[in-house]
């Protein structure tokens, strides 16, 4: 764990729970793609940088989830590096209480105010094309979260969280998605990308991403069909969520309620806008039912 893997002359990644990219800017300076899940991850990254004689110039955050920005504060304090994140993701990075508040839809309970969802705040600036080191491109990867991006350097693409490994999908079944339509469009785009190596944050690096992208698409469509089957009769969101947890043998707690619950609501909106289900209000209760 936390092994440095070289994939090209200037591109590396650190093999850890949320893969961290490293791109050499010149002989002595590097930028990071994300920073890991906490201060300890930041310390491990710093040790790798020091061992290679590299100075950290900037961190490019793909999005604002805690396992991608958790090392930001430590590394910024230790090195004085700049941190950049795209649009809304930048705001969430600077004000990390926003994530559990968004997921819960209100002031979050104590069970959601922990380091996995509330990373230490860092001082991020908006990611704009003019700050990127020469040769690094931004790739829009919307869907998993608000404005997630990936990065490309020559023939290496860092894909952030736009897809998950087969093992993860088979175990957890329902991956976190903010915008289902955008997510599917992103996966179709990923299938047609051209690169020598693709580095997803939560799957093995590979030279062929097509089959894994399709597997992620198939899982989304499978969940859509499962929701439609459960909406043959009018059903409330809470009852639907319970049925899905039972069907997939998941265990409910505050964290799963927030993460999976938010995602299921996104599926409902997607299916509604596809004309496949409709929302009705009955006796002051919001119910969902499959369209005929």
Q: What is the pTM of this model?
A: 0.96
Q: Which residue has the higher pLDDT, 18 or 1?
A: 18
- Tell me the pLDDT tens digit for each residue of 57-75: 999 999 999 999 999 999 9
Number of compact structural domains in the chain: 2
The 3-class secondary structure across the chain, one letter per residue, is CCEEEECCCCEEEEECCCCEEEEECCCCEEEEECCCCCHHHHHHHHHHHHHCCCEEEEEECCCCCHHHHCCHHHHHHHHCCEEEECHHHHHHHHCCCHHHHHHHCCCCCHHHCCCCCCCCCCCCEECCHHHCCCCEEEEECCCCCCCCEEEEECCEEEEECCCCCHHHHHHHCCCCCCCHHHHHHHHHHHHCCCCCEEEECCCCCECCCHHHHHHHHHHHHHHHHHHHHHCCCCEEHHHHHHHHHHHCCCCCCHHHHHHHHHHHHHHHHHHHHCCCEEEEEECCEEEEEECC
Judge whether 185 lies within some domain. no
pLDDT of residue 271: 98
Same domain flag for 117 and 245: no
Residues 16 and 136 in one domain: yes
Domain identity same for 146 and 250: no
Which among 129, 145, 161 is the end of a domain?
Answer: 161
Domain assignment of residue 219, yes or no: no
What is the structure's pLDDT at 47?
A: 98
CATH code at 39?
3.60.15.10
Mean pLDDT throughout 167-189? 97
pLDDT over threshold 90, residue 170: yes
Task: Please tell me the predicted confidence (pLDDT) of residue 13.
Answer: 98
Structural domain contains residue 147: yes
Residue 40 has a pLDDT of 96
Residue with the bigger pLDDT between 289 and 292: it is 289
Boundary (domain end) residue, out of 141, 161, 181: 161
From the list 63, 211, 27, the residue with the least C-alpha distance to 150 is: 63
Whether 55 is in a domain gets the answer yes
| pLDDT tens, residue by residue, 120-157 | 999 999 999 999 999 999 999 999 999 999 999 999 99
Per the structure, the complete domain to which residue 242 belongs is given by: 227-290
Average pLDDT over residues 182-204: 97
Whether the pLDDT of residue 1 is over 90: the answer is: no
Residue 292, pLDDT > 90, answer no
Radius of gyration, alpha carbons of the chain: 20
Model pLDDT, residue 160: 98
Shared domain check, 18 and 125: yes
Q: Are residues 253 and 123 in the same domain?
A: no
- 240 touches 231 (CB < 8 A): yes
Same domain, 105 and 31: yes
pLDDT of residue 192: 94
Residue 274 within a domain: yes
Any domain includes 252? yes
Residue that terminates a domain, selected from 118, 134, 161: 161
pLDDT 10s digits, 79-121: 999 999 999 999 999 999 999 999 999 999 999 999 899 999 9
Residue 182 lies in a domain: no
What average pLDDT does the segment 25-31 reach?
97
- Contact between 25 and 57 (Cβ < 8 Å): yes
pLDDT value at position 87? 97
Q: Do residues 256 and 123 both lie within one domain?
A: no
Is 201 domain-assigned? no
- Same domain as 247, residue 105: no
Is residue 13 domain-shared with residue 154, that is, in the same domain? yes
| pLDDT tens column, 200-256 | 999 999 999 999 999 999 999 999 999 999 999 999 999 999 999 999 999 999 999
Question: What CATH number corresponds to the domain at position 241?
Answer: 1.10.10
Q: Using 50, 70 and 90 to split pLDDT, how confident is the model at 166?
A: very high
Tell whether 104 and 235 lie within a shared domain. no
């Amino acid at each position: 764990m936390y092994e440095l893997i070289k994939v090209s002359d200037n591109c590396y990644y650190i093999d850890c729970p949320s893969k961290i990219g490293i791109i050499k800017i010149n002989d002595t300076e590097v930028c990071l793609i994300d920073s890991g899940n906490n201060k300890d991850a930041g310390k491990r990254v710093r040790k790798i940088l020091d061992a290679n004689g590299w100075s950290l110039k900037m961190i490019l955050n793909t999005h604002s989830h805690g396992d991608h920005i958790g090392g930001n504060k430590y590394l910024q304090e230790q090195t004085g590096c700049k941190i950049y994140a795209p649009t809304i993701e930048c705001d969430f990075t600077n004000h990390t209480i926003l994530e559990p508040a968004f997921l819960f839809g209100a002031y979050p309970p104590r069970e959601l105010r922990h380091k996995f969802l509330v990373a230490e705040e860092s001082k991020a600036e908006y990611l704009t094309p003019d700050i990127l080191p020469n040769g690094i491109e931004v790739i829009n990867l919307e869907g998993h979260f608000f404005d997630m991006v990936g990065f490309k350097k020559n023939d290496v693409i860092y894909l952030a969280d736009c897809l998950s490994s087969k093992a993860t999908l088979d175990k957890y079944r329902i991956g976190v998605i903010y915008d289902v339509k955008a997510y599917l469009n992103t996966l179709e785009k990923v299938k047609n990308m051209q690169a020598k190596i693709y580095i997803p944050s939560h799957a093995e690096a590979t030279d062929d991403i097509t089959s894994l992208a399709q597997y992620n698409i198939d899982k989304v469509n499978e969940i859509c069909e499962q929701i439609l089957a459960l909406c043959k009769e009018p059903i409330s969101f809470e009852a639907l969520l319970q049925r899905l947890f039972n069907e997939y043998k998941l265990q409910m707690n505050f964290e799963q309620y927030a993460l999976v619950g938010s995602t299921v609501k996104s599926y409902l909106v997607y299916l509604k806008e596809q004309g496949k289900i409709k929302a009705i209000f009955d006796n002051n209760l919001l119910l969902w039912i499959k369209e005929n």
